[in-house]
């Protein structure tokens, strides 16, 4: 049986108009590490980025004429990533030029978190809340 509480079991998939720039941004601003990137020139067919504290994302270049995954809209995602180091990650994100949409704050439910928008409009929230 699969452990449903394991954050490594869910891998969101995103499309970007400029996937190579998105990869650079996600690595620099949020500390992701590119483990796989299959590109044909400027077009990223498939990339995997792991978050050092667990889990990751898959992404590629948006293609309105591509398969059902490549046709998904760009910039409409909202993702939540668990981190034990929200303060350091917030400083890293700000230092890399991420657009802050919610500053680093302590929530009434016990989480310390913040949110930033990436280069193409997706909102990334990072916090200590691990779910119930």
Compute the distance between CA of residue 10 and CA of residue 22 in angstroms, rounded to an integer: 20
Would you mind telling me the total number of residues written for the chain in this entry? Answer: 132
Compute the distance between CA of residue 67 and CA of residue 105 in angstroms, rounded to an integer: 40
pLDDT at 1: 41
Where are any strands of DSSP class E within the chain? 13-16, 33-40, 43-50, 56-61, 78-82, 99-106, 112-117, 123-127
The chain-wide mean pLDDT, for the chain, equals 92
User: Per-residue pLDDT tens for 77-115?
Assistant: 999 999 999 999 999 999 999 999 999 999 999 999 999
Please check whether residue 107 is in contact with residue 93, taking contact to mean a CB–CB distance below 8 angstroms: no
What is the residue extent of each domain of the chain?
11-63+70-127
Binning pLDDT at 50, 70 and 90, where does residue 3 land?
low
Sign of CA dihedral 3, 48, 75, 72: negative
What's the average model confidence in pLDDT over 62-80?
88
pTM comes to 0.90
Binning pLDDT at 50, 70 and 90, where does residue 72 land?
confident
- CATH number of the domain at 11-63+70-127, please? 3.10.180.10
């Amino acid at each position: 049986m699969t452990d449903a509480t394991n954050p490594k079991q869910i891998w969101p998939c995103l499309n970007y108009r400029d996937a190579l720039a998105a990869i650079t941004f996600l690595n620099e601003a949020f500390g992701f590490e590119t483990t796989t990137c299959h590109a044909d020139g400027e077009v990223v067919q498939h990339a995997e980025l792991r978050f050092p504290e667990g889990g990751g994302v898959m992404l590629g270049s948006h293609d309105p004429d591509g398969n059902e995954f490549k046709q998904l809209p760009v910039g409409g995602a909202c993702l939540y990533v668990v981190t034990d180091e929200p303060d350091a990650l917030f400083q890293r994100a700000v230092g890399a030029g991420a657009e802050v949409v919610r500053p680093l704050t302590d929530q009434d439910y016990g989480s310390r978190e913040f949110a930033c928008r990436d280069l193409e409009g997706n909102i990334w929230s990072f916090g200590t809340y691990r779910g119930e």
